[in-house]
Amino acid sequence: MSRTLPETARLALACLDLTSLNDDDTDATVDVLCARAAGPFGAPAALCVWPRLAARARARAPAGVAVAAVANFPDGGTDIERALRDTAQIVAAGAQEVDLVLPWRALRDGDAAAAAALLRAVRRACTGQRLKVILETGELKEPALIEQAARLALAEGADFLKTSTGKTPVGATPEAADTMLAVIAADPLARDRVGFKAAGGIRRVAEAAPYLDLVERHLGPGALGPARLRFGASALLGDIEAVLGGPPAGPTAGTY
């Protein structure tokens, strides 16, 4: 698990979901994001944007870079029709990935059935797309609740478990990641298939390193690639380029 900082930076870049989810994002924001993805050290795994901007991202993304868009974001309510509208827009745009917020308040308040129903409906509506379920671990807080959320997401067909929206005070933490990865590793149907995404507050390469170690420990070295590991961030790319010796980062699409 010992890696140099440049080795960590290269791996983080390959697994990066370069993200912009500001309320005032426009086509121009997406154009900047796409330009940033065509960097000197290689491309990220994906761009992550609002559903209304997914078609623009698909049209402008560098070759080989996937497009993800968010659904039921950021609040994670229980309105299935709203989540399905988001999902339909994402699918129609040709985006390959759906980052869906679990109804975490419903789960926390004891209504796991409502949370499961929304996940189930969206999973059916995006067959063929990669479904990344956001647990909002910083709000669930308790390991037992995070574990319950992870199990529920796996049961409803998640392809990835994602920590956070990046819109709450506490984003990704190694403690939450450890709990989520343990659930994936313990599930015989998930441990060789389902991935993990750390999002919220990861701005520097050194902050990404503990998540690489956790993924390798729970899922094995074969999971250290974009098929099984992602980082959701906007500022991280600038630090990756700095570590790899590139020029100062250019204009960004905003904060995540």
pLDDT tens digits, 217-249:
999 999 999 999 999 999 999 999 999 996 554
Which residues are identified as catalytic? 99, 162, 197
CB atoms within 10 A of CB 34: 22
Question: pLDDT tier at 123 (50, 70, 90 boundaries)?
Answer: very high
Give residue 179's identity as a one-letter amino acid code. Answer: T
Question: pLDDT tier at 1 (50, 70, 90 boundaries)?
Answer: low
CB atoms within 10 A of CB 249: 15
Q: Is the pLDDT of residue 158 over 80?
A: yes
Q: Regarding the domain with residue range 5-243, which homologous superfamily does it belong to in the CATH classification? A: Aldolase class I (3.20.20.70)
Q: Is the pLDDT of residue 168 over 80?
A: yes
Q: What is the pLDDT of residue 255?
A: 42
d(CA 141, CA 162): 14
Q: What is the pLDDT of residue 141?
A: 97
Mean pLDDT along residues 130-157: 98
Say what percent of the chain tops pLDDT 90: 95
d(CA 112, CA 156): 12
Q: What is the pLDDT of residue 19?
A: 98
Beta strand ranges found along 117-194 (DSSP E): 130-134, 160-162
pLDDT digits (tens, 9 = 90+) for 66-98: 999 999 999 999 999 999 999 999 999 999 999
d(CA 126, CA 160): 14
Q: What is the pLDDT of residue 176?
A: 98
Mean pLDDT along residues 145-166: 98
d(CA 46, CA 19): 8
Q: What is the pLDDT of residue 2?
A: 85
Smallest CA-to-CA distance from 249 within 39, 61, 30, 60 is with 39
DSSP 143: H
HSE value, Cβ hemisphere, 13 Å, CA-based, for 112: 11
Q: What is the pLDDT of residue 187?
A: 98
CB atoms within 10 A of CB 245: 10
* Cross-strand partners of 196: 161, 229
